Structure 1
Amino acid sequence: MASMSVYLWCVPMFHCNGWCLTWAIVAQGGTNVCLRNVSAGGIFCNVAEHKVTHMGGAPTVLNMIINESTSEQKRLSGKVVVLMKVAPSPSQVLFKMEELGFRVVHSYDLTETYGLGTICT
Structure 2
Amino acid sequence: MDFPIRITPILRPLLFPLRASGERAVVRVGGGRVEVEFGVLFHGSFALEQIEHVSRSGWSWWGGLGLRIGARGRVGLIGSLDGVVCVHFNRAQRVRAPFPWRCRELYISLHDPEGFIATVEAEAHMAAA
- Per the TM superposition, whether the score is higher than 0.5 is no
- Bigger strand fraction: 2
- Please, what TM-score do these two structures have when normalized by structure 1? 0.30
Give the TM-score normalised by the residue count of structure 2. 0.29
Q: Which protein is richer in helix relative to its size?
A: 1
